[in-house]
Amino acid sequence: MTTRVPLVLVDGIVRRLAAGDDVSGATPSPVFTLSNANAGAITIGQAVYSSATGAVDLAKADSIGTSQVLGLVGQATIGIGGSGTVQYGGVLSSANWTAVMGATTLTAGAVYYLDASTAGKLTANPPDATGKYVVKVGTALSTTELHIEIDSPVGA
């Protein structure tokens, strides 16, 4: 009888599962690290897209290119030219959503969309003007937690 050994990714390289290891409870991390291409710092919760340089910049629902949301900044701040985490799934928690929402807290149960007026911002009101894009980003589980659920842009 043939013994089958699962394959796993280790630092981006496919390898055989080591003897004694198992994959029970393993889940992919919904976070990656990218550089900030914006002219200013990007703060926790702000929506970002992949810029032409392969770094991230603030997303905005006013064009198809900038409305392709990769995720939300997952740490306090990514400085100009610095690297930091971007979260594309799971739950993002922050005690202060002011930079993202204009309000300190989220509204539990509200669905949030990418804003068409201010780069990086989220709104509970989806854009409805011609030439803008509706991009669902997530649903608030509480006043401090957003369940990230990024959809593809749809023209308004």
The answer to whether residue 40 sits within a structural domain is yes
Q: Closest Cα partner for 87 from 122, 39, 137?
A: 137
pLDDT tens digits, 97-118: 998 998 899 999 999 999 999 9
- Residue 34: partners with Cβ closer than 8 Å, 6 or more residues away: 48, 50, 54, 55, 56, 70, 83, 84, 86
Bridge partners, 86 (sequence order)? 32, 73
pLDDT in tens, 17-50: 777 776 665 555 688 899 999 999 999 999 999 9
- Rounded to two decimals, the pTM is 0.81
**Residue 12: inside a domain:** no
**DSSP structure string for 11-60:** TTEEEEPPTT---TT----SEEEEEB-SSS-EETT-EEEE-TTSSEEE--
In a domain, 94, yes or no: yes
Q: Which domain holds residue 106?
A: 31-155
Can you give the C-alpha Rg of the chain in angstroms?
A: 18
**Residue 128: inside a domain:** yes
Domain contains 91: yes
**What is the number of structural domains in the chain?**
1
pLDDT higher than 90, residue 85: yes
For residue 13, is it within any domain?
no
Dihedrals phi, psi of 99, to nearest 5 degrees: -65, -20
Confirm whether 129 is domain-assigned.
yes
Average pLDDT, the chain: 89
Q: Does residue 68 lie in a domain region?
A: yes
